[in-house]
């Protein structure tokens, strides 16, 4: 079963030429689309439209942000295909409006929120976070969103709520990678499901994200709303979320189902616990040449280590 390829240097070297070609085919695709008479659908804020949000200085980083072009053309979004360039090339098929997020399970106030209602309810802020992919590369991204905790508090979890489950949209018409085909076999079961323990989800770093770089979130980055959990490997940060459910039992996540020995539920960034097929001790920041050491909890140990006191993080990887 093809789960994930081992990190290979060539696929993580984005040359400027490749970037340029990707960008160009994306633009040509967009231009061609503009010529097709469109059906009357609710006006979607197009990706790239400005999204004002004040930078929260508590989440500034010294590390320079990764180039916007890299953030939007080098993606993991298996619903569009398993190659890094597939999401940018194909993401125009995703329709981020109209969109609802069903919030339910063990909560006193379950509710299906329209995405625009979420945007009205919670003030947006910009936060610069490191994102570390399990494959051994990382980026620094100025995200725009609001704390996941704000939404959680609003729906009032009951005492039975121990975990939070996130589900990505299931729609093979919008996601070519969800169509059954020999050519896009990812090894994942759809829809993509991820999860956090309730206390992790309530941690102030966990961000419900609707934009980046001062703009509406591009489709390939998980429009219209995705979660960002910066102290965990990137795959915990589920994209294009349609459901958030509060449950008593640990959710079975898409990656855990595919390969439990490689992708544990916790998936905290941990240089001391290797992936079974490669070391996690170092990473390559996209845009840099030399690998740098990977930091425990992706550099957020001061803030999140207390969530795991008493846990053997080699066992709970
Ligand atoms: N639904 C969904 N969410 C997903 C993925 C995916 O394939 N499908 N890939 C994950 C992985 S492996 C990473 S590293 C991050 C990448 O986020 P980015 O493309 O915005 O940088 O998204 C995560 N969220
Ligand atoms: Mo990843």
Mutate to test the pocket of ligand 1, among 3, 11, 76, 145 (most ligand atoms within 8 A of CB): 76
111-142 pLDDT, tens digit per residue, is 999 999 999 999 999 999 999 999 999 999 99
Residue 3 lies in a domain: no
Containing domain of residue 80, as a range? 11-308
Kindly state whether residue 316 falls inside one of the protein's structural domains: no
**Cα–Cα dist 296/174, whole Å:** 37
Query: Which residues touch 86 (CB under 8 Å, ≥6 apart)?
Result: 75, 77, 80, 177
Q: Is residue 261 part of a domain?
A: yes
Confidence of residue 186 (pLDDT cuts 50, 70, 90): confident
Residues with Cβ within 8 Å of 206's Cβ and at least 6 positions away in sequence, in order, are 147, 148, 149, 196, 200, 227, 228, 229
Cα→Cα distances 201→89, 110, 147, 194, 276, Å: 32, 17, 9, 12, 27
Strands (E), the chain: 54-55, 100-105, 111-114, 125-132, 137-147, 163-168, 193-197, 207-212, 215-216, 226-228, 241-247, 282-285, 292-293
Whether the per-residue pLDDT at 16 is higher than 60: the answer is: no
Does residue 133's CB lie within 6 angstroms of at least one atom of ligand 1? yes
Say whether the peptide bond before residue 107 is cis (omega within 30 degrees of 0). no
C-alpha 221 – ligand 1 centre gap (Å): 7
Q: Which atom of ligand 1 is nearest to the CA of 222?
A: 20
Decide if 127 is inside a domain.
yes
Atom 10 in ligand 1: residue holding the nearest Cα? 235
Q: How far is the CA of 79 from the centre of ligand 1 (A)?
A: 10
Please check the confidence at residue 12 and state whether its pLDDT lies above 60.
no
113 lines ligand 1 (CB under 6 A): no
Q: pLDDT tens digits for 276-307? A: 999 999 999 999 999 999 999 999 999 999 99
How far is the centre of ligand 1, averaged over its atoms, from the C-alpha of 228 (Å)? 10
| 6 located within any domain | no
- Residue 315 within a domain: no
Report the distance separating Cα 231 and Cα 164, nearest Å.
Answer: 17
Query: CATH number, domain at 168?
Result: 3.90.420.10
The neighbourhood of ligand 2, an ion, using CB within 5 A, equals 76, 133-134, 234-235
Respond yes or no on whether the N-terminal peptide bond of residue 224 is cis (omega within 30° of 0).
Answer: yes
- Quick check: pTM over 0.85? yes
Give the model confidence (pLDDT) of 18-72 as tens digits: 443 443 344 444 444 444 444 444 455 678 899 999 999 999 999 999 999 999 9
Work out how many domains the chain is built from and give that number.
Answer: 1
CA angle 133, 139, 145 (to 5 degrees): 95
Rounded to an integer, what distance in angstroms lies between the CA atom of residue 44 and that of residue 187?
32
Does 288 reside within a domain? yes
Does residue 213 come out as left (phi exceeding 0), alpha (psi in the -120 to 50 range) or beta?
Answer: left
Least confident range of 185-189, 238-242, 280-284: 185-189
In a domain, 133, yes or no: yes
Tokens of 250: 């640990």
Mean pLDDT of the chain: 90
Q: Give residue 99's Cα distance to chain centre.
A: 17
């Amino acid at each position: 079963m093809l789960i994930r390829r081992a990190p290979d240097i060539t696929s993580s070297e984005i040359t400027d030429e490749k970037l340029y070609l990707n960008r160009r085919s994306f633009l040509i695709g967009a231009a061609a689309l503009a010529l097709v008479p469109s059906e009357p659908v609710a006006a979607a804020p197009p990706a790239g439209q400005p999204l004002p949000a004040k930078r929260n200085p508590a989440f500034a980083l010294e590390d320079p942000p990764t180039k916007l072009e890299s953030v939007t053309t080098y993606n993991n979004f298996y619903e569009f295909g398993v190659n890094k360039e597939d999401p940018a090339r194909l993401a125009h098929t995703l329709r981020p409006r109209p969109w609802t997020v069903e919030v339910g399970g063990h909560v006193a106030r379950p509710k299906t929120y329209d995405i625009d209602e979420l945007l009205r309810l919670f003030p947006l802020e910009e936060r610069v976070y490191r994102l570390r992919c399990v494959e051994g590369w990382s980026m620094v991204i100025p995200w725009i969103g609001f704390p996941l905790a704000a939404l959680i508090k609003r729906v009032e979890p009951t005492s039975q709520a121990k975990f939070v489950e996130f589900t990505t949209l299931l729609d093979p018409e919008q996601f070519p990678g969800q169509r059954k085909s020999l050519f896009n076999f990812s090894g994942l079961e759809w829809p993509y499901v991820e999860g956090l323990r309730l206390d992790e989800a309530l941690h102030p770093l966990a961000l419900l994200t609707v934009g980046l770089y001062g703009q509406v979130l591009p489709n390939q980055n998980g429009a219209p709303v995705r979660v960002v959990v910066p102290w965990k490997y990137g795959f915990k940060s589920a994209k294009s979320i349609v459901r958030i459910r509060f449950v008593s039992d640990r959710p079975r996540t898409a990656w855990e189902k595919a390969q439990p020995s490689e992708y544990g539920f916790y998936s905290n960034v941990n240089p001391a616990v290797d992936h079974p097929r490669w070391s996690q001790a170092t990473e390559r920041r996209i845009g840099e040449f030399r690998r740098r050491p990977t930091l425990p909890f992706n550099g957020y140990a001061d803030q999140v280590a207390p969530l795991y006191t008493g846990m053997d993080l080699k066992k709970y990887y």
